[in-house]
Structures are given as structure tokens and as C-alpha cells.
Chain A
Amino acid sequence: MEVLVTNVSDRVTKVGLAGRLDTAGVDRVEAKFLAACAAGGSHALVDLSAVTFIASMGIRMLISASRAMALRKTKLVLFGPQPLVSDVLNHTALSDVIPIVADESSAIALVEV
């Protein structure tokens, strides 16, 4: 499991996740991921395109990040989930409370309005 952080603009950070968001994967990246999302008061676009698996611990991590950001008046947007990952996201509360879009440009459009 890996976390790759890049600046999209002064107000937007892209956080790429790669690998499995299972118990072991979340344990490895959670602290780094939460820190990356909270850094600098920016909005966070989370690239899920290289995430091959997600279960409840991954859902928990994404909700935690989004809640922390909402308190700071910044947004978290997810983009690019693979179909099986998307299936899990759509089943949970996550899709009701965190925007999930197909690609990066759609994600940028959501935070720049």
C-alpha cells in the first residue's frame, strides 16, 4: 500500500493510493494518508484508480479523513475507483456523504466551484 501526494494548485492536493485498503494496508498508510489530506488546509482529491481492494477498514479511513476535513471547511473528493471497489463504496454510507467521480478533472471541478 502506498500514498503519493502531489500539489494540483495552492488550494488542491492530490493524494494517490495504490494497493489494498484492507486491515494490513490501512495499518500501513493511515497516518500518512490522514496527514496528507489535512496538510495546508487544501482540498484533497483522492485517486483510487490503483486501489485493487477495499473493505470496511478502508471505508473507515476515508470517512475519518473526510470528517476531519469537513471540520476545517475543506473537501475530500474520491475519483477513479475500479468497478469492484466502486461496488463496495456504493454499498456503504460513503457514497452518500463523500463525492465519488470518474476522473481527476471531474474531481477538480467539484472543489473549484
Chain B
Amino acid sequence: MRLIEAPLLAAQLRLALRNELEEIGRARLALLQFLASAKLPDRTIYRLEVVLEEVLGNIIRYAFTEPSPSTIELTVTLAADAVVLTFEDSGKPFDLLSVPEPSRPRDISSTNVGGWGISLVRKFADGLHYQRRDGRNLLEVRIAPDPLR
């Protein structure tokens, strides 16, 4: 069953992003523009934005040990039943699925300030698939549309 109203021509968006935090905003605007005609529920757009923010932020902050410029390939595919975000980078191997969930603290003084990004990706994704191929990380995140209310 087709759950997403896909535009006839543009079923895929491809972006080449620099490994700079400012690129997250550019990717977000391109994603929103690409998905505008798909008429997705607000919550689905929010989930996509969180995943984009967290995965790109993680790659840009931690994947590259050298300060030299690198490119992150982002592909957004509008499938019949989901939006699929594919992130590809040449940074060090990192399987997001291998990261344990942060423990829930008992009080503010023992709370880690960070570490919730990957947990949010897990929460909002309907499917996650990682592989290391030809020296590159490939992460595919599938997000199905939320029911209309």
C-alpha cells in the first residue's frame, strides 16, 4: 500500500556535504524542500529532522581524525512506505548499532550531559542498517510515516 504521496519526478535527493557542522542546516533545508510535496505528518518530519541532526552531527564531530576536508554523501529516498536516509562517509569505522543505551541516572549530579543522540536515532527510526564497505561507513535509516490524526 502506498502511504506516501510521492512526487512523480523527484523520488531521490542526493547531497554531498562537507564535514562541517554548518552543513547540517543546509541538509535540513534541502530535506524539507524535497519532502514538501509528500505531505508527511508533522511528527514524521520531526523524526526525520532529529535523525538527520544526530547522524550528521555524529559523523562530523567524531568520524574524522584528520582535520582535512571530507565529503559525506546523503541520499534521501522516497519509497512507497517510508523515507530512507542513507549516510555514507570515509571516516573511521563506526557502527551506531553497537553503542549501548545510556543508563538512566538517579540525580542531576550523576547525569552525563551528552550521549543521547544515538539513543534518539534509535527511538525515531523504524529500521537501521549499517555496513562497512570499501573503507566507507554506510548507514541506512528507514522512517515510516506516522498515522494521520
Contacts and interface: CB of A to CB of B under 8 A. Distances in A.
A52 B99 CA distance: 28
B30 interface: no
Interface stretch (B68-76, B79-87, B112-120, B129-137): B112-120
Interface stretch (A7-15, A35-43, A89-97): A89-97
- Interface residue range, chain B: 20 to 34
Given A63-B113, A91-B120, A84 B42 contact: yes
A92 B24 CA distance: 22
Nearest to A71: B109
Contacts of A91: 116, 119-120, 123
A55 B120 contact: yes
B107 A97 contact: yes
B21 interface: yes
Contacts of B24: 22-24
Interface in A1-50: 22-24, 27
Interface in B80-120: 102, 104-109, 111-117, 119-120
16 contacts: A22-B49, A23-B57, A24-B25, A55-B120, A56-B53, A57-B57, A59-B116, A67-B108, A84-B42, A91-B116, A91-B120, A92-B119, A92-B120, A93-B104, A97-B106, A97-B107
Interface of B: 21-22, 24-25, 42-43, 46, 49-50, 53-54, 57, 102, 104-109, 111-117, 119-120, 123
Interface of A: 22-24, 27, 53, 55-57, 59-60, 63-64, 66-67, 70-71, 84, 87-88, 91-93, 96-98
Across chains A and B, which 3 residue pairs bring their CB atoms closest together, nearest first? A56-B117, A97-B108, A56-B116
Given A24-B21, A24-B25, 10 more contacts: A23-B53, A23-B57, A27-B21, A53-B49, A55-B49, A56-B120, A60-B116, A67-B109, A84-B42, A96-B104
